[in-house]
Amino acid sequence: MAHVDLRRVRLPLVRPVRTALGAYDERDVLLARVVGAGGEEGWGECSAEAAPGYWHEFTDACEQVVRRFVLPRLEGADVGPGDVPRLDGWPMASAAVEWAVLDALCRRAGVSVASWLGGIRRTVEATLTVGVGEPVEPGPYRNVKVKVGPGSTVEPVHGVRLSADGNGSLTLADVERLAGLDHVEQPLPADDVVGHVEARRHVRVALDESIGSAGDVRTAAAIGACDIVVLKPGRVGGPLGCLAVHDAAVAAGLEVKVGGMWDTGIGRAAALAVASLPGCTIPPDLAASDRYFAADIVTTPARLSADGTLDIPTGPGLGITVTNVG
Ligand code: MG
């Protein structure tokens, strides 16, 4: 590995996105850039948001952590993804670097990240995420996820597979009102894993914020707390963490859904590669880039096909070309 550095980019969102935890109008994103010994460039995105809320890590803190504790241990060394230091409590920070290292490694080898991971899909069905209180209209997306809060109800829409995401803000009474949906993501707080056993009596449950590792998956499976594991490529420590969580879910008989939300074209390409894995049988929480950004930072942002699918990138590495990041 010849060189690793960090970039910080602010990308305006096409429309503010509202969740149970607040509204956002731009994405303040930390990027890791690796230039390998052969000159190949690799990129990774840090999933952290500008402020803690959804998750305890935030962009400023992740930048400090990577600069002080990750980069000094990589510079000049010939490293693979497994050599990127893992810091307890900072999976999003180190994930950015681990993705960049893997991107560079795969570019050098001329293979896609999807095939390196063991992916088997060429396309995936996309999912549109709709903010709290926004209407769901029939459109090209066959899967729609509605952000919900306490007291929310979700009306069925013809031809659309509907799910909801409580981001840990719901009660069991709220879950009961959502019983007709395909599944509900993280209805109860992240630390209330046991409470989700009860929630499953009403609807299929997907655990998101409760899942940070393969161990969390095994615990949830052992007590019957979920049907689906939400796999966030940035939150489980990068590509190797993704494989560990995916494999643990498959071994436990759970389905996997790749999650994403504010990803630029870099994070989206990584998430699409993960979504090509065999256990990822629930359509990923990924939409076309133009749903979120007027101008992405890759030359070929993810576009929705007429049949409501997104292509898994097949080019070397993440299969993207990064532009306009200073
Ligand atoms: Mg979620």
List pLDDT tens digits, range 131-160: 888 888 778 899 999 999 999 999 988 989
**Mean of the pLDDT values across residues 182-195?**
97
The Cα–Cα gap between 62 and 77 comes to 22
The Cα–Cα gap between 36 and 78 comes to 8
Residue 15 CB neighbours (<10 A): 11
Six-digit token string for 63: 């930048």
List pLDDT tens digits, range 190-238: 999 999 999 999 999 999 999 999 999 999 999 999 999 999 998 899 9
User: Please, which residues have CB less than 5 A from ligand 1, an ion?
Assistant: 165, 185, 208
99 C-alpha to ligand 1 centroid (Å)? 21
22 C-alpha to ligand 1 centroid (Å)? 14
Confidence category of residue 53, pLDDT binned at 50, 70, 90: confident
Q: Is 147 a catalytic residue?
A: yes
The Cα–Cα gap between 311 and 309 comes to 7
pTM of the model: 0.95
| Torsion angle of C-alpha atoms 25, 30, 35, 41, degrees rounded to 10 | -30
Residue 123 CB neighbours (<10 A): 15
Lowest mean pLDDT among 12-21, 53-62, 109-118: 12-21
5 C-alpha to ligand 1 centroid (Å)? 30
Q: Is 145 a catalytic residue?
A: no
Six-digit token string for 152: 């929310």
Beta bridge mates, 30: 8
Catalytic residue among 177, 183, 202, 232: 232
Q: Which residue is associated with the tokens 């997907």?
A: 206
Residue 189 CB neighbours (<10 A): 16
CA neighbor of 262 nearest in space, from 304, 291, 228, 299 = 291
The Cα–Cα gap between 300 and 320 comes to 6
Six-digit token string for 237: 């420590």
Catalytic residue among 27, 33, 145, 147: 147
167 C-alpha to ligand 1 centroid (Å)? 6
212 C-alpha to ligand 1 centroid (Å)? 13
226 C-alpha to ligand 1 centroid (Å)? 14
Lowest mean pLDDT among 6-20, 230-244, 252-266, 301-315: 6-20
Please give the pLDDT value at position 77: 59
186 C-alpha to ligand 1 centroid (Å)? 6
Please give the pLDDT value at position 21: 63
List pLDDT tens digits, range 230-285: 999 988 999 999 999 999 999 999 999 999 868 999 999 999 999 999 999 999 99
321 φ/ψ angles, rounded to the nearest 5 degrees? -120, 120
**Mean of the pLDDT values across residues 51-59?**
88
110 C-alpha to ligand 1 centroid (Å)? 34
The Cα–Cα gap between 165 and 131 comes to 10
* Angle at which helices 239-251 and 214-223 cross, to 10°: 20
221 φ/ψ angles, rounded to the nearest 5 degrees? -65, -40
**Mean of the pLDDT values across residues 35-39?**
87
8 Å CB contact between 89 and 95: no
Q: Is 326 exposed, middle or buried (0-12, 13-18, 19+ CB in 10 A)?
A: exposed
142 C-alpha to ligand 1 centroid (Å)? 18
232 C-alpha to ligand 1 centroid (Å)? 9
List pLDDT tens digits, range 69-114: 999 888 765 788 998 998 999 999 999 999 999 999 999 999 999 9
40 C-alpha to ligand 1 centroid (Å)? 34
Please give the pLDDT value at position 15: 84
pLDDT > 90? residue 20: no
pLDDT > 70? residue 1: no
8 Å CB contact between 66 and 53: no
Q: How far is CA 240 from the centre of its chain?
A: 14
167 φ/ψ angles, rounded to the nearest 5 degrees? 45, 40
